[in-house]
C-alpha cells in the first residue's frame, strides 16, 4: 500500500491535510481530509435567539457566506414550523443561483487559476499569499 500526503492543503478557507492510500494496482483504496481548525461557531450560537443565527453563521466562511445564510435560515424556518411562501422560495433559489456563479468565478480565479497560470512556481507564491492574509 502506498500513501500520498498533501500537507498543507491551502486552496480552501483554512488549511487541511489530505492522505490518499493507494492499493498495489495504484487505485485509491481510501482517502482522508483533515481540517484542524476549530472555530467554535456552534458554541457561539448556543443560548442566542434563533433569529440571530443567520447573521452569525454568515461569518463562518469568507468564501461561502451565502450557503451558511441559506442553511441557517432554513433551520430558523424549521424551528418555527414555517413554510415560506412560493415567492420567498424563488428569491432564495435566485440568491443561491447567483452564489453558484460567484463561487465558480472565485474558485477559478483565486483557487484554481494559479495552478494553470503559474505552474510549478504557484506553491511558493500561494503560501506567501496565505501567510499575509492570515
Taking the domains of the chain in order of start, what are their residue ranges?
1-37, 40-133
CB atoms within 10 A of CB 100: 11
Element (H, E) at 71: helix 65-79
> How much is the average pLDDT of 36-42?
72
Q: Which single residue is written with the C-alpha cell 460567484?
A: 102
pLDDT tens profile 72-111: 899 899 999 999 999 999 999 999 899 888 888 877 777 7
Backbone dihedral angles phi then psi of residue 79, each to the nearest 5 degrees: -60, -45
Instruction: Report the chain's mean pLDDT, rounded to a whole number.
Output: 79
pTM exceeding the 0.95 threshold for the entire prediction:
no
> How much is the average pLDDT of 42-60?
85
Confidence of residue 127 (pLDDT cuts 50, 70, 90): very low
pLDDT at 130 over 60: no
Q: How far apart are CA 19 and CA 6, in angstroms?
A: 7
Q: How far apart are CA 102 and CA 88, in angstroms?
A: 21
Amino acid at each position: 500500500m502506498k500513501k500520498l500526503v498533501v500537507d498543507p492543503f491551502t486552496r480552501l478557507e483554512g488549511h487541511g491535510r489530505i492522505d490518499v492510500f493507494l492499493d498495489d494496482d495504484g487505485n485509491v483504496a481510501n482517502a482522508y481530509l483533515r481540517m484542524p481548525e476549530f472555530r467554535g461557531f456552534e458554541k457561539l450560537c448556543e443560548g442566542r435567539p434563533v433569529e440571530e443565527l443567520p447573521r452569525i453563521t454568515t461569518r463562518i466562511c469568507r468564501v461561502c457566506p451565502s450557503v451558511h445564510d441559506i442553511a441557517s435560515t432554513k433551520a430558523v424556518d424549521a424551528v418555527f414550523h414555517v413554510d415560506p411562501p412560493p415567492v420567498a422560495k424563488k428569491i432564495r433559489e435566485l440568491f443561491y443561483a447567483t452564489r453558484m456563479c460567484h463561487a465558480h468565478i472565485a474558485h477559478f480565479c483565486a483557487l484554481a487559476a494559479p495552478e494553470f497560470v503559474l505552474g510549478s512556481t504557484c506553491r511558493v507564491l500561494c503560501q506567501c499569499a496565505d501567510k499575509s492574509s492570515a
